[in-house]
Chain A
Amino acid sequence: MSDHNTLGEILRERGVSRRGFLKFCTATASMMALPPTMTMAVAEALEKAPRPSVIWLSFQECTGCTESLTRSHAPTIESLIFDHVSLDYHHTLQAASGDAAEAAREEAMHAHHGKYLLVVDGSIPLGDPGFSTIAGISNLDMLKETAEGAAAIIAVGTCAAFGGLPHAAPNPTGAVSVSDIIKDKPIVNVSGCPPIPSVITGVLAHFLTFGGLPELDQYGRPMVFFGQSIHDRCYRRPFYDKGLFAETFDDEGARKGWCLYRLGCKGPMTYNACATMKWNQGTSWPIESGHGCLGCSEPDFWDAGGFYKALSIPTSDLAGAIGTGLGVGAAVGIAAGAMAHKKKTDAEHEREPLTVEQLEGES
């Protein structure tokens, strides 16, 4: 397969019909969280999209991000997009090893200088270069050397994006993120532990389709996937609004699917696409399985005060007050509704929302 083939040509070579191509574009637009009206624009751009060279570097990581991408169901839109890129270097996936592997990286860097996409998973240790090396090269040196000729960098996973688990207190290796080191290249952070596979390929698809990186939020994450909080898109949100919370993992509230806020759900401070894109072929996601969000796509989530500690707790028992009100009749129920609303408003005023920094200070 020629490196100069466009995606349209590659799919036609595989015998994919125009209808098939448009179906592919429909799913790609959906994966990129674009409105369905953009399907034809995506088709036009993908038809002419060249095959980009991708160098994937893995530093202090657990391979969970690569697993997330490659273990997704196949063949999929994800795998078609992933197959389309020329993956010239990836420790885990490449057949070559040792000198031959490093030669492949250098060859790709020279042949596609200024045009290749650099994907990084894992954090970079600054404490001692010996903590993590590849072919005798420190992670720091390899990142700097490879980033120099990259068109753009995708930091995949919370480790590459924000330091992640290696960065957790007391951070023994002095782990930092890609953007802590590289300052002169466009970087997109695809955080998550691991990120949703469709989000990783959605960013790749965006680069293929539009030749650049998507609009980013304050943490350098693509707005289309990280623009709304888990809480705002959660199907359990109506229970939060009514003040109905599960207090333990096996109480009546848990069985009825009430809000998991009091069980430590980090949905209100977490921005990710889990609530709509879900996991395992769209089967489910943590909150649908009855467990609160861990906030894994946020900086320093590991040190955010404990997975089962609520971000902040209203000072009165709102759910109990509502239950009593509804138990004695409709008229009183309406009054209880008004009371609940007042209590909720009061509680909101009395709450002292905690930031991650404050929680860190407590521990």
Chain B
Amino acid sequence: MSKLERIKVVELPAEQNLRPLLHEIGHALRKLADRGEEHVIDLRAMPFGPGDEAALMRFLGEGEASGRVDALGETRIRESRFPGVWLIDHYNEDGGRIALQIEITRMPSILRTPPEELQDSLAGFGLALKERETN
């Protein structure tokens, strides 16, 4: 064991940095419930200290819905134990995180089919169907 490995790594307790973020989520959830207004929070812009992100995850917990998108690397989508509060975790093709967001919405935007791809989808489907019926 090297000297470096003998140094104990201590995770410091989360401080007050989490409190304003939780209140922002609460306000956004109220707007979604009352007016259907959606909100996105970029966690990269938060001055998180050691333990803050883990404390946030513990607070949000896991809900009943989750998903995954494979586009320029993996994106993991998970609804928290509070319906309407989603965690969107973007990774690159090497598994490095490139963005982490909280979406307060009924359906995260990345799960919706982009309208720009519908025409290509229709053409591709037509072609595949024609090919199937020809053979």
User: A78 to chain B: closest CB distance in Å?
Assistant: 9
User: Are the CB atoms of A33 and B40 closer together than 8 Å?
Assistant: no
B10 at the interface (CB under 8 A from A): yes
Q: How far apart are the CA atoms of A77 and B93 in the complex, in Å?
A: 11
**CB neighbors of B among A273-325 (8 A):** 275-277, 281-282, 288
User: Are the CB atoms of B12 and A27 closer together than 8 Å?
Assistant: no
Stretch of A61-69, A151-159, A229-237 that contacts chain B: A229-237
The answer to whether residues A36 and B71 also contact, given A30-B44, A238-B16, A282-B44 and a CB cut-off of 8 A, is no
A37 at the interface (CB under 8 A from B): yes
A271 at the interface (CB under 8 A from B): no
Task: Mark A residues whose CB is within 8 Å of B.
Answer: 16-20, 22-24, 26-27, 29-30, 33, 35-37, 73-77, 233-239, 255-257, 275-277, 281-282, 288
What residue in chain B is nearest A36 (Cβ atoms)?
B40
Complex A-B: 24 CB contacts under 8 Å: A17-B71, A17-B117, A18-B116, A19-B69, A19-B71, A20-B71, A22-B109, A23-B71, A23-B110, A26-B90, A26-B101, A30-B98, A73-B92, A76-B94, A233-B47, A235-B47, A235-B49, A235-B52, A238-B15, A238-B16, A255-B10, A256-B12, A275-B47, A276-B47
Cross-interface CB contact of A276 among B45, B97, B116, cutoff 8 Å = B45
The answer to whether residues A18 and B114 also contact, given A33-B45, A77-B92, A281-B97 and a CB cut-off of 8 A, is yes
Task: Apart from A76-B96, A276-B45, list 20 A-B contacts with CB within 8 A.
Answer: A17-B114, A18-B117, A23-B72, A29-B42, A30-B44, A30-B45, A35-B42, A73-B94, A75-B92, A75-B93, A77-B92, A235-B15, A235-B17, A237-B47, A238-B17, A276-B47, A281-B96, A281-B97, A282-B97, A288-B49
B33 at the interface (CB under 8 A from A): no
Q: How far apart are the CA atoms of A22 and B98 in the complex, in Å?
A: 13
User: B18 to chain A: closest CB distance in Å?
Assistant: 10
Cross-interface CB contact of B49 among A16, A27, A36, A236, cutoff 8 Å = A236
Cross-interface CB contact of A288 among B10, B45, B50, B109, cutoff 8 Å = B50
B46 at the interface (CB under 8 A from A): yes
B48 at the interface (CB under 8 A from A): yes
Q: How far apart are the CA atoms of A278 and B40 in the complex, in Å?
A: 21
Q: How far apart are the CA atoms of A17 and B45 in the complex, in Å?
A: 27
User: Are the CB atoms of A235 and B94 closer together than 8 Å?
Assistant: no
B99 at the interface (CB under 8 A from A): yes
**CB neighbors of A among B65-123 (8 A):** 69, 71-73, 75, 90, 92-94, 96-99, 101, 109-110, 114, 116-117
The answer to whether residues A20 and B72 also contact, given A234-B47, A235-B49 and a CB cut-off of 8 A, is yes
Residues from chain B with Cβ under 8 Å of A30 in the complex:
42, 44-45, 98-99, 101
Q: How far apart are the CA atoms of A36 and B42 in the complex, in Å?
A: 6
User: B7 to chain A: closest CB distance in Å?
Assistant: 11
Q: How far apart are the CA atoms of A234 and B16 in the complex, in Å?
A: 12
User: B55 to chain A: closest CB distance in Å?
Assistant: 12
Q: How far apart are the CA atoms of A24 and B90 in the complex, in Å?
A: 10
What residue in chain A is nearest B109 (Cβ atoms)?
A22
User: Are the CB atoms of A276 and B46 closer together than 8 Å?
Assistant: yes
User: Are the CB atoms of B101 and A36 closer together than 8 Å?
Assistant: yes
Residues from chain A with Cβ under 8 Å of B116 in the complex:
18
Residues from chain A with Cβ under 8 Å of B50 in the complex:
235, 257, 288
Residues from chain B with Cβ under 8 Å of A239 in the complex:
15
User: B84 to chain A: closest CB distance in Å?
Assistant: 16
User: Are the CB atoms of A16 and B46 closer together than 8 Å?
Assistant: no
What residue in chain A is nearest B94 (Cβ atoms)?
A73
User: Are the CB atoms of B114 and A22 closer together than 8 Å?
Assistant: yes
What residue in chain A is nearest B120 (Cβ atoms)?
A18
What residue in chain B is nearest A34 (Cβ atoms)?
B42
Cross-interface CB contact of B98 among A17, A37, A76, A256, cutoff 8 Å = A76
User: A334 to chain B: closest CB distance in Å?
Assistant: 19
B60 at the interface (CB under 8 A from A): no
B32 at the interface (CB under 8 A from A): no
User: Are the CB atoms of A74 and B94 closer together than 8 Å?
Assistant: yes
